[in-house]
Structure 1
Amino acid sequence: MSILSYLHVVLTTRLVELRRDGERGDSPVPTAVIIFGLVFVATIVTGLALNRANSWMTNIPTFTNPVP
């Protein structure tokens, strides 16, 4: 039971320390880099979705090219 008490005290102490130093503003990664990464990923996902949609639309049969 002593190991559980020890872990509880350690976890509680660490959570109190994290709450105290919550908004220091010294992130190791600048905000601009994070935003650029998000925009880059969003552009890739949008391009892939557009490619899939165009590919799906070209496979729809028309009245001039019906499927037997």
Structure 2
Amino acid sequence: MSAYHEAELAELAAHVAETIDQFRSDVLTALDVDEVLFQYSCAAKELWKFCNIGDAQAAAVQLHGAP
């Protein structure tokens, strides 16, 4: 489960990095960046809850199907 959590966080962080690069290139505004950061925060919290609260075995089954 920790490998899944880390991989998903890396994907979220890559999206944030891409957004900041676009901001630095004057493609996006600060408001666009703010929206992505808000979405990142919400997604990271939900990911943490999915990976850390409740039955880890049930979460693994959700991710990979029946054992």
TM-score by length of 2: 0.39
Higher helix share: 2
TM-score by length of 1: 0.38
Between the two structures, name the one with larger relative contact order (CA 8 Å, sep ≥ 6). Answer: 2
